[in-house]
Amino acid sequence: MTEAPAPWDSRIGRRLKLRDLRILFAVVEAGSMAKAAGQLRMSQPAISEAIANLEGALDVRLLDRSRRGVEPTIYAQALLKRGRNAFAELDHGMREIGYLAHPTAGVVRIGCPENMMSGFVPAIIDRLSRRYPQIVVHAITAQPGAQQFQVLRESHVDLMLGRILRPVTDAAIASEIIGEDRFFVVAGASSPWIRRRQVALAELVNERWILFPPDNVVSSSFADVFQAHGLEAPQASVISFSLDVRMHLLATGRFLTVLSGLVLQYNAKRWSLRALPVDFGEPVPITIFTLKDRTTSPVAQLFIEQAGAVAASLQKVR
């Protein structure tokens, strides 16, 4: 006896079209069918027909129309939320097919903190491009150290690279340690502190400090180091993520900050930076983050291999 068809087969699977879903996304983002028609280079009747097809297949109203344009109903919002994830997975699948056909060519998308882009990541890209010149790297700023993995979950990146300052609590995230880094108290070449052979942490409390925003995980670690020595954490004179801001202010000789060894490795000579002789905590792992339920593409795997090689070479230099 033949089983009755599932709802997907009988109603949605045969009538729901990816093209119509993309049109719905465009209409909602544009706020009107007319604007979406212009962006998609389609006629407005074709746009209306696509929306009507979707509403017919799902048997719900997807758009509320008003003088101001259109707004998604609760049904459309649910469809958009899940649909975007579906399109992201389809896009990832198409890219995987391309990787299988050409495993040393294609695009790898990474997310990492700004300070890793100031030397470490360019070194990885340089090494990768010399060996695999057909690979394109797309790098965006992200904060895996703060366990912000949304760009990874939404397939905006294939992997994330960062320092892991506390255990990963997200069960969907896989982490692979490729090396270690540590933080240093840093001054510019004209600072009077660089002439000291010994510096006590207590002496630095009242200096002008350039710090990260207080809700950043590095800020918490910074405070912990002082508290471990029975000291109150210094007050910030400047609060910024920007490396440019830090470098220019350090050059005046009037400020101190905390920088990682990776940043110093590539920028100390250029900006005349010096690490002060202060014990500033234990090393932290340099980590690659990926999604456990997503197969790492061959191109992304090549990036990971070269990242590990660069990290290993830096350990020998320090």
Check pLDDT > 80 for residue 95: no
pLDDT at 70: 86
Find, among 171, 122, 178, 173, the residue nearest to 151 by Cα: 173
Task: Considering only residues 302 and 72, tell me which one the structure prediction assigns the higher pLDDT.
Answer: 302
Q: Full-prediction pTM beyond 0.85?
A: no
Mean pLDDT of the chain: 87
pLDDT in tens, 228-244: 999 999 999 999 989 99
DSSP code, position 8: I
Q: What is the mean pLDDT of residues 205-222?
A: 89
- Residues constituting the chain: 318
What are the structure tokens assigned to 284, written together?
């932290």
Q: CA dist 183 to 42, 202, 230, 237, 277, Å?
A: 55, 17, 19, 19, 12
Q: What share of the chain is helix, strand, coil (3-state, %, to 5)?
A: 50, 20, 30
List own/partner pairs for 70-76 with CB under 8 A and 24 or more apart.
Answer: 70/27, 70/28, 70/31, 70/32, 70/33, 71/28, 71/31, 72/28, 76/24, 76/28
- 250 Cβ contact list (under 8 Å, min separation 6): 186, 187, 188, 191, 210, 256, 257, 271, 273
DSSP code, position 215: T
As a whole-number percent, the residues of the chain with pLDDT over 90 amount to 51
Q: Which of 32-36, 181-185, 188-192 has the lowest mean pLDDT?
A: 32-36
Burial class (CB in 10 A: 0-12, 13-18, 19+), 263: buried
Check pLDDT > 60 for residue 1: no
Q: CA dist 304 to 94, 149, 308, Å?
A: 21, 18, 6
Check pLDDT > 80 for residue 153: yes
Tokens 């690279």 correspond to what residue?
Answer: 161
